[in-house]
Structure 1
Amino acid sequence: MPALTVWCYGTPLGATAGSVRLRRLEDARALEVIDAIVVSWAPGAHRPRVTRLWPPAEVSPREPSVLVALLRTALRASHDGKALPPDVADRLSATGLDPVILEEVTAHLAPRTSALMVLSGAADLSVVVPAVRQRIVSGEVTLLRADLPADGPERLRTAVGLEPRRPID
């Protein structure tokens, strides 16, 4: 089942460390990563820095990131101090994603924090959950998760204004 998972860290480098754990989970075939980004907000910076992790350039062609588009949408609304515009909230609701999760993500993003956002497909939760829970118990990370329907990732692409994926020849 596809899911949007956001690991929110209380330090600017926490999400980078989380991306190493994510890579290990993917290497162990415990998780199918569709898209992933690290959002880090260094002290003194005026806005967070976004680094795209997936898909690796050597594996597949570069496509616009659905997570970058989703984050921009959420940050734009939160920067203005408003909730998501009703049309955007409606489009996101149609994907199976509760727009409230985006408000929670932006509430966690502040100077000296970071987040790892992951759009995933199939996952072996018996492996993934303990790997993530270990950090939650230690207080290093807050986990936000939204399950999506089978076609959720494609619906999400459309909801944030991206073209549907083209099959790789």
Structure 2
Amino acid sequence: MAGTLTVWKFPTETGAETAVATVRDLRRRRLITLHDAAVVSWPAEATKPKTRQLRHLAGIGALGGGFWGLLFGILFFVPLIGAAVGAGIGALAGALTDVGIDDKFIEELKERITPGTSALFLLTSDAVLDRVLDEFRGQSPELISANLSHEQEDKLRRAFAE
């Protein structure tokens, strides 16, 4: 089955951290096959978010820190780096398009993940998204997802395997 990169945005800076326990339970009950995960939390008063890969939840074939670093760099930190380096990162961002993470998806994430919010990024397969949403009930999540074909997921794994 092809993979899905889902981003669950929460209306508070701690919502994604709370949702990690839910994901752990879904994985334990085999309702989700989790390959990799990361959390973004953005305190309202901060100029940039805090990010971290959830290595303890990552499964076999995890993408590793390189993928998350690139994705989060493009999403939140490139404007702070400068135009010369930004152009180089722009080329790397183009590589993400090859694996189904296009400019539209990136822009949607930039617009939705803002100070005072948080997000849980999951690379999964075999997930029943309606069931996952049911488990997050009461946490007010907003789902943003990008489906990856088998070929795109393989490219992503080859590019970022550690």
The TM-score with structure 1 as length reference comes to 0.73
Question: For the Cα contact (< 8 Å) 1:9–1:141, is it kept in 2?
Answer: yes
Residue in 2 that maps onto 1:34: 35
Partner of 2:144: 144
Question: Identity rate of aligned residues, in percent?
Answer: 27
Match of 2:20 in 1: 19
Select 2:126's aligned residue among 107, 122, 129.
Answer: 122
Matched length:
157
Q: What secondary structure, in the 3-state scheme, does the structure 1 residue paired with 2:52 have?
A: strand
Cα contact 2:35–2:61 (8 A) shared by 1: no
Matches of 1:143 and 1:61 in 2, distance apart? 22
Alignment of 1:18-167 (within 5 A): 18-56=19-57, 63-77=64-78, 87-125=91-129, 127-132=131-136, 134-135=137-138, 140-157=140-157, 162=160, 164-165=161-162
Deviations 1:27-85 (A, max 9, x none): 1111111111111012322321112213448x8999435233211122234658x9x97
Kindly provide the CA deviation profile for residues 144-166 of structure 1, in whole angstroms up to 9, marking residues without a partner as x. Answer: 0110011433423566xx3x45x
Over 3 Å counting, the alpha-carbon distance change for 1:55 and 1:156 in structure 2 is farther
Higher normalized helix content (fraction of residues): 2
Letter in 1 for 2:70: A
In 1, Cα distance between the equivalents of 2:100 and 2:49? 27
RMSD of Structure 2 on Structure 1 (CA): 3.3
Point out the more displaced range, 26-35 or 115-124.
115-124
TM-score by length of 2: 0.76
Mapped to 2, the partners of 1:16 and 1:151 lie a distance apart of 31
Unaligned runs of 5+ in 2: none
Distance 1:63 1:2 in 2: 16
Structure 2 CA distance, aligned partners of 1:149 and 1:111? 32
